Amino acid sequence: MIGEPVGRLILRFKPPLKADLKKILKILDMDSKRFFLKLLKSYICREHVSYDDNADWNKILRLAEIHSVQAILFIAVNRLEKKPPIYDQLRKYGFSAMQTAALQEIGVREIIKAFHENQIEHTFVKGYVLRNYYPDKKVRSMGDIDILINVYDREKCHNVMLALGFHYEEADYNQYVWSYEKGVLHVEVHTALVYENLFHDYDYISYFREKVRNRKNIGGSTYALSVEDHFIFLMVHIARHFYNAGIGVRMILDIVVYLQTFGRTMDISYIKNELKRIQLGDFSNIIFYICKKYFNSEIDCVPVPEDDLDLIMDYIISHGVFGYYEKDYMGIRYKRDGKRGPRLLLEKIFPSAEFLSKNYPWFRSGKKYMLPYAWIRRWIYNLTNESKRSKIKNKLSSVLNDDDDVIHHMKILKTAGLK
């Protein structure tokens, strides 16, 4: 597994089962977390950090794994005056990251060429753009490559992706996001930047639809959001992940390098006003303060009370790249809006027409009179598919589990200004 490309490792990521949680909890002590952050800072900020003879390097390696920053950690420890015992493992991760990045770049260039030839307007967002702002873009791992297209180009784009040899992952179908895979490339093709309004009852869908209209052509059929609008989108994306289950250190590093690259040239006043307008002023201030306190980011922000900061930082570091580790993340998603017990169970067994039309290509029409047929078809598919049966078991367990993780998550959301 160590020798696999980092992108493949991320694609194969599965949250741990409940039986593993106590074991994981034991390894993530506070000293390891602090030194882990120091090592990441030494890379991002090009600062010297001294070798720590008392560091538990196995715990630090584990933190790097659950946050998908192994290659970054490799460069950081490579600069130490003494090589740690995990050095050989990290070196494998570093070389794998370079291999994966090279293969991904070749694959993306093929996609861009094909999109140009077929006049498919497209915009790259998130990881594929952000990696260019790191000291070495090869170390910023990417689980997905996200591309935004116009909705009327969906079928043409689909045919182009198939012609390029990509496998369409129908099991991951979403009305707004279609997934394709080939080798180390996992591509998500979106027809909307935001397609659900999760928090504060704000219309983020319409807000970003307007932002997409204002994107600029940067050559051929390739477009780009403005530096400011992409940054605002990233903050909403981070807030969405935080709301759903949590975020990891890598998302914080993305904001750090963005501020390093554009902090003195982009319109910070516009960004802060827009974040306040879309009701993310308090949340974004917390993210800014984390970037400033732990990674020396140059941005004005209001200090966060130490108790609140410690609570949020421990939550970020403890739960991995997307907040899945050490908690019942599915239970959080299901129950955060107050749904419990039989009502929630019935909702999962008999989903709405809206849910089915968004998540199953064979139910795109969304006709309500077809619901009984759709339910039966979905039951048969899920019960006869081995991987689906396993997921159903985990989901049912999440529905029926106690609510401790949900209660704690809601406390974190309130502290972070998202509830």
Taking the C-alpha atoms of residue 418 and residue 332, their distance in angstroms, rounded to an integer, is 14
Q: What is the pTM of this model?
A: 0.82
Number of domains in the chain: 1
371 in any annotated domain:
yes
359 in any annotated domain:
yes
173 in any annotated domain:
no
Of 100, 170, 108, the closest CA to residue 145 belongs to 108
Q: Along the 419 residues of the chain, how does pLDDT read in single tens digits? A: 333 333 333 333 344 444 444 444 444 577 889 999 999 999 999 999 999 988 999 999 999 999 999 999 999 999 999 999 999 999 998 899 889 999 999 999 999 999 999 999 999 999 999 999 999 999 998 889 999 999 999 999 999 999 999 999 875 556 789 999 999 999 999 999 998 887 778 999 999 999 999 999 999 999 999 999 999 999 999 999 999 888 999 999 999 999 999 999 999 999 999 999 999 999 999 999 999 999 999 999 999 999 999 999 999 998 888 876 665 555 566 556 666 556 666 777 777 777 777 667 666 666 676 788 777 877 777 777 766 666 666 666 655 565 677 778 888 999 999 87
368 in any annotated domain:
yes
If DSSP codes are grouped into helix, strand and coil, which group holds residue 296? coil
pLDDT recorded at residue 324: 67
373 in any annotated domain:
yes
| Angle made by CA atoms 332, 338, 340, in degrees to the nearest 5 | 80
Its domain, for residue 391, covers: 341-402
Amino acid at 71: A
Element (DSSP H or E) covering residue 293: helix 281-295
51 in any annotated domain:
no
pLDDT recorded at residue 207: 95
DSSP letters along 261-280, please?
A: HHTTTS-HHHHHHHHHHTT-
Amino acid at 260: Q
369 in any annotated domain:
yes
DSSP letters along 344-376, please?
A: HHHHHHS--HHHHHHH-GGGTT--GGGHHHHHH
DSSP letters along 188-244, please?
A: EEES-S-----STT--HHHHHHHHHHT-EEEETTEEE--HHHHHHHHHHHHHHHHHH
349 in any annotated domain:
yes
Contact 130, 254 (CB under 8 A): yes
pLDDT recorded at residue 15: 43
pLDDT recorded at residue 354: 74
pLDDT recorded at residue 3: 37
